[in-house]
Structure 1
Amino acid sequence: MRKPNILFIMADQLSALALPFHGNPVVKAPHLQALAERSAVFDNAYCNFPLCAPARFSLLAGQYATRIGAFDNACEFQAATPTLPYYLARQGYKTILGGKMHFVGPDQKHGFAERLTTDIYPADFGWVADWNEGEFSFYSPGHNLSTVDESGPCFRSLQLDYDEEVEAKAVQRLYDLAREDEQPFFMCISYTHPHPPYSIPPEYLDRYKPEEINLPIVGDMPMHERDKLSQWVQYSHGLDKQGATEEQIRRARHTYYAMVSYIDDKVGRLLDTLQRAGFADNTIVVFTTDHGDMLGERGMWFKRVFFDWSAKVPLIVFDPRAHKPRRIAEPVSHVDLLPTLVQYATGETAPAWVEPIDGRSLVPLVATGDPTGEAEAFSEYTAEGVTGPCCMLRRGKYKYVYTHGHPDLLFDMEADPNELVDIAQQQPQVLAELKARVLSRWDPGAITQQVLASQARRKFINSLPEASQPVWDYQASTDDTRRFVRRGSARVIKVKKRWPPLAGTANGKENGA
């Protein structure tokens, strides 16, 4: 029996709460909706870091970001880190990456045997955070009110250029895998929508009427009513003194929803290609994203905080060999995906890890849905805008938030899903228990020193003359020596490239030829 193929699809900055199967009545995502209806859907899945690069590194390593030195968007992902594609390659998988993964450093594959495209973002230290600047000092040039205000239609953009290429390369590679019978494979396809800027072709905007766009559930609030982490982030986004107007909010959310529909079409095309290539019956499909987007909730935009719009992610797992749709309420996180997919590949419940991992396999939950009662999700933030390590622990119905040097927060997510009532003072025993769980394995003092040392090293290298700056960006290339007719019979090659094969042909040659 063949091992299952794995198609791993990622979006970028797609909040779980923006999707119809997580309760948003406006967003149109029929392909994802249909996939969810036949899959295991995790209702409380979280990223391990609400920022692009550390979230992705943590997912691939199955380890929390600070354990692998992923402190911000310009931290090197160490080449010696065992990753999901390395573990799957050991099981005979052909490992393929197409699209964004935001690898930083000279290793631009991290276990993927193939990269179909370059990355959309740089691989150097140019985006290093700087805690020495002090509190309320960082302002993001790419995430601010102008980004919200500029939302609307476009015919082409950098992100459209990128995602169209990612889709084309992914579809082509799936057909090539079918024609060459290259199995098992692990293919990760990672798009950059609906990451801002919020812009999309008008035909996607036309799927929605402006008046039907729902406004945030929780409105804007004064800075003095916010927790310290929220104050830091609002300042860094330039939203501490002026927030978005209702018209700006509605237009930005309209565009974001249209971008989600665009990604939904991309997912539909991949799933259709799986079917046409003959892989659908033996391919596990996983859909998720790196983190979410606040999208105007609480007057906040983008990510970097632990509120659910920012930190909760969609997670769909479809196993065609055990077709049992179910909804799973138990908290999980991205570090669980490495052991989950390795178990699917090996059939082993406890394979030998090269080094300890922080996740646990979700295969039993996908198979039965029976809760374990001990599950939790842990997320960190140590990047720009803050001046000390911050983290979140979701355990059962409680969410605990730690902000270094400032008061803790505690929310009852069942009674208060909008996270408006801090019950830290009302539930001191719960607060103490969750804080103890965090601090028993996560040392904020030590992490602070590690972050500052890392920033100092990278700032030094980044300050060198341009000629001395490292260049690590991946350059994708195409080998055309076997794609089209070069030597030999044109007819034989054309027959070989036809899919599905014509009756009476085998291995690209006509019978009797």
Structure 2
Amino acid sequence: MSKKHNILLIQVDQMTAKVLPAYGHQVVKTPNLDKLASEGVVFENSYCNFPLCAPSRMSMLTGRYANTVGVWDNATEAPAETPTLMHYLRGMGYSTTLCGKMHFVGPDQLHGYEERVTTDIYPSNFSWAPNWEKGLGDRPTGINLSAVVNSGQCKRSLQIDYDDEVEYFGVRKIFDLARYEERPFFLTVSFTQPHSPFICRPEHWDLYDSDEIDMPRVPAMKEEDMDPMSKWIYYAHAGDLDQPTDDQIRNSRHAYYGMVSALDEKVGNLVAALKDCDLYEDTVIIFTSDHGDMLGERGQWYKQLFYEYSATVPLIISCPSLFSPKRIEKCVSLVDLTPTVLDIVTNGENYEVIDEFEGTSLVPLLKDGKDDDRLDQIIVEYTGEGALAPCRMVRRGSVKYIYTHGHDDIMYDLANDPLELTNIADLPEYADLRKELNAVALDGWNPTKIREQILASQKRRLFIAKQTDNDPVWAYKVFENDDQRYVRKAGAVQTKAFARIPRIENESAFK
């Protein structure tokens, strides 16, 4: 590792690891990701650290947990004084470019990136700020299950528009970097699919027969059988108003698989551009998602939960000149990516760390497939919209521990209970481990204090949003009208996100 390698981070949105053939799925078709996985390192138990877009991404780019940074939800402004991976890389002689979505909130729309070559797709202001004081059913984004009910095919949609734009400028940027940039590069190409609504082009829909689409393995739970966090999120998604039919569930998963295949093509085009520029062998490619999607498991949709479909993400790291193909069983998470990238580009040499990382480098696992010093343990937290109290999850080995502030603990042994159906928290044989994992969850994380901080932050942001009618927009402008394109304010997700061809009439069935 004597030279500085280029880094290409490919991120998608709301893709659970559970649907990829590289993670054992038998239906979804992703030939390009399959090849990347066969040539790279596949982390079999990889998690986001916060199953929601903005906090997950900020945790990944700082190497610190979102609550440590003070990012509570999808409408929290990350402090501009917070050092990110991009700040470190710029000091190490790298160019840093963002192409696509990152869901930064506030006037700082770069956070260390030197440039952005596209605008973002979702609001950069406080219009999606949640309000815990409203109690059960607060829906700041206006989200409901119409994204499931109206799943299917389309010729064009807002998300297809956006991802086509990101692909075009991402490929173009690779060629520009190869031609004009002397420095090594860190390029992030970040797509919005397969985020809901679940709609795909006919050519991707037709890759699958309806009869082969697998249905959820765990049926919908009765409300009285839900744990508190699941009940909160169920109401936040308007699940109490109605539930999709079996045909609608199958269509949603069908369209989701089509969206995954569409993204696979875009990944293939990015890799092809690297190869055309003779950059493939010496570029570290990282493929991941910000969080997963429940896809109807337990009757739940979208993200915001600690169950496997929501919290697991694909993580594939490939660089033929550095790492041989292998599969890693140890638990890892996105908070590990910043120290990992910095470890790669510094060849393991010391560098100044401004704020101590809460993630740890994956380079020993990438190189040797083992790391005796690394705990087989990760932490995931949630304080975003839909929740009514701070929540945290710890996975150690095969055991998952869930702490919901003010409520009983939950534990699952994934080795014996992969569908997470049996709560073992009260079993005597797990008492000592429960105590240990509770201490891990609460170490440096005070839920009472955090709740107070969140309520105060929500009050400030809601006041500002009300007084200003959700202005300013703060959208990053590459082109003149970028502050008007895509979703910019509250409620628009239920109009613009469904603006597709052909049009649909029943776009808000669950208001």
Normalising to structure 1: TM-score of the pair?
A: 0.91
3-state SS of paired residue (2:330): coil
Instruction: State how far apart, in whole Å, the 2-side matches of 1:275 and 1:347 are.
Output: 24
| Aligned amino acid, residue 476 of structure 1 | V
3-state SS of paired residue (1:88): helix
Alpha-carbon deviations, 1:104-134, whole Å to 9, x = none?
0111101111101000011100000111112
3-state SS of paired residue (1:74): coil
Shift in Å, 1:477:
4.3
3-state SS of paired residue (1:243): coil
When residues 306 and 161 of structure 1 are mapped into structure 2, their CA distance, relative to the original with a 3 A threshold, is same
| Aligned amino acid, residue 243 of structure 1 | Q
| Aligned amino acid, residue 449 of structure 2 | A
Equivalent residue number for residue 378 of structure 2: 377
Equivalent residue number for residue 477 of structure 2: 475
State whether structure 2 residue 248 is matched by structure 1 residue 245.
no
Shift in Å, 1:141:
5.7
| Aligned amino acid, residue 430 of structure 1 | L
| Aligned amino acid, residue 29 of structure 1 | T
State whether structure 2 residue 466 is matched by structure 1 residue 457.
no
| Aligned amino acid, residue 126 of structure 1 | S
Unaligned runs of 5+ residues in structure 2 are 481-511
Equivalent residue number for residue 444 of structure 1: 447
Shift in Å, 1:142:
4.6
Instruction: State how far apart, in whole Å, the 2-side matches of 1:186 and 1:98 are.
Output: 11
Compare 452-461 and 268-277 and name the one that shifted more: 452-461
Alpha-carbon deviations, 1:383-408, whole Å to 9, x = none?
11121101111111111101111111
Instruction: State how far apart, in whole Å, the 1-side matches of 2:422 and 2:196 are.
Output: 30
Is the Cα contact below 8 Å between 1:10 and 1:189 reproduced in 2? yes
Equivalent residue number for residue 127 of structure 2: 126
Compare 173-182 and 118-127 and name the one that shifted more: 173-182
| Aligned amino acid, residue 398 of structure 2 | K
3-state SS of paired residue (2:452): helix
Is the Cα contact below 8 Å between 2:4 and 2:184 reproduced in 1? yes
Instruction: State how far apart, in whole Å, the 2-side matches of 1:402 and 1:142 are.
Output: 27
3-state SS of paired residue (1:104): coil
Instruction: State how far apart, in whole Å, the 1-side matches of 2:95 and 2:357 are.
Output: 23
Shift in Å, 1:240:
2.8
Listed as ranges, the matches of 1:115-264 within 5 Å are 115-134=116-135, 136-139=136-139, 142-240=142-240, 242-264=242-264
3-state SS of paired residue (1:43): strand
Equivalent residue number for residue 5 of structure 2: 4
Equivalent residue number for residue 484 of structure 2: none
When residues 17 and 46 of structure 1 are mapped into structure 2, their CA distance, relative to the original with a 3 A threshold, is same
When residues 55 and 243 of structure 1 are mapped into structure 2, their CA distance, relative to the original with a 3 A threshold, is same
- Number of residue pairs matched? 476
| Aligned amino acid, residue 20 of structure 2 | L
| Aligned amino acid, residue 367 of structure 2 | A
Instruction: State how far apart, in whole Å, the 2-side matches of 1:90 and 1:141 are.
Output: 38
Shift in Å, 1:56:
0.6
Equivalent residue number for residue 430 of structure 1: 433
When residues 351 and 398 of structure 1 are mapped into structure 2, their CA distance, relative to the original with a 3 A threshold, is farther
State whether structure 2 residue 67 is matched by structure 1 residue 77.
no
Shift in Å, 1:416:
0.9
Equivalent residue number for residue 54 of structure 2: 53
When residues 347 and 144 of structure 1 are mapped into structure 2, their CA distance, relative to the original with a 3 A threshold, is same
Shift in Å, 1:263:
0.5
Equivalent residue number for residue 315 of structure 1: 315
Equivalent residue number for residue 361 of structure 2: 361
Is the Cα contact below 8 Å between 1:291 and 1:311 reproduced in 2? yes
Instruction: State how far apart, in whole Å, the 1-side matches of 2:403 and 2:240 are.
Output: 22
Instruction: State how far apart, in whole Å, the 2-side matches of 1:284 and 1:376 are.
Output: 25
Is the Cα contact below 8 Å between 1:13 and 1:289 reproduced in 2? yes
- Between the aligned residues of both structures, percent identity stands at 48
When residues 442 and 349 of structure 1 are mapped into structure 2, their CA distance, relative to the original with a 3 A threshold, is farther
Is the Cα contact below 8 Å between 1:140 and 1:237 reproduced in 2? no
3-state SS of paired residue (1:428): helix
Is the Cα contact below 8 Å between 2:128 and 2:141 reproduced in 1? no
Shift in Å, 1:456:
1.1
Is the Cα contact below 8 Å between 1:2 and 1:184 reproduced in 2? no
Instruction: State how far apart, in whole Å, the 2-side matches of 1:87 and 1:342 are.
Output: 8
Equivalent residue number for residue 487 of structure 1: none
Instruction: State how far apart, in whole Å, the 2-side matches of 1:222 and 1:33 are.
Output: 38
Shift in Å, 1:241:
5.3
Is the Cα contact below 8 Å between 2:128 and 2:140 reproduced in 1? no
Instruction: State how far apart, in whole Å, the 1-side matches of 2:468 and 2:180 are.
Output: 47
Alpha-carbon deviations, 1:234-269, whole Å to 9, x = none?
111111353221111110000000000001001000
Equivalent residue number for residue 281 of structure 1: 281
Instruction: State how far apart, in whole Å, the 1-side matches of 2:443 and 2:70 are.
Output: 19
CA RMSD of aligned residues (A): 1.4
3-state SS of paired residue (1:331): strand
| Aligned amino acid, residue 454 of structure 1 | S
Is the Cα contact below 8 Å between 2:130 and 2:139 reproduced in 1? no
Is the Cα contact below 8 Å between 2:286 and 2:318 reproduced in 1? yes
Shift in Å, 1:374:
1.4
Is the Cα contact below 8 Å between 1:98 and 1:188 reproduced in 2? yes
When residues 209 and 16 of structure 1 are mapped into structure 2, their CA distance, relative to the original with a 3 A threshold, is same
Equivalent residue number for residue 506 of structure 2: none
Alpha-carbon deviations, 1:35-74, whole Å to 9, x = none?
0111111111110110011111111111101111110100
Instruction: State how far apart, in whole Å, the 2-side matches of 1:325 and 1:446 are.
Output: 44
Instruction: State how far apart, in whole Å, the 2-side matches of 1:74 and 1:107 are.
Output: 13
Instruction: State how far apart, in whole Å, the 1-side matches of 2:114 and 2:289 are.
Output: 22
When residues 419 and 27 of structure 1 are mapped into structure 2, their CA distance, relative to the original with a 3 A threshold, is same
Equivalent residue number for residue 411 of structure 1: 412
3-state SS of paired residue (1:330): strand
Instruction: State how far apart, in whole Å, the 1-side matches of 2:332 and 2:290 are.
Output: 14
Instruction: State how far apart, in whole Å, the 2-side matches of 1:243 and 1:429 are.
Output: 40
Compare 425-434 and 175-184 and name the one that shifted more: 175-184
Instruction: State how far apart, in whole Å, the 2-side matches of 1:71 and 1:240 are.
Output: 25
Equivalent residue number for residue 271 of structure 1: 271
State whether structure 2 residue 396 is matched by structure 1 residue 395.
yes
3-state SS of paired residue (1:393): strand
3-state SS of paired residue (2:281): helix
Instruction: State how far apart, in whole Å, the 2-side matches of 1:11 and 1:235 are.
Output: 26
| Aligned amino acid, residue 253 of structure 1 | R
3-state SS of paired residue (1:358): coil
When residues 263 and 56 of structure 1 are mapped into structure 2, their CA distance, relative to the original with a 3 A threshold, is same
Unaligned runs of 5+ residues in structure 1 are 479-513
Instruction: State how far apart, in whole Å, the 2-side matches of 1:319 and 1:299 are.
Output: 39
3-state SS of paired residue (1:87): helix
Is the Cα contact below 8 Å between 2:130 and 2:458 reproduced in 1? yes
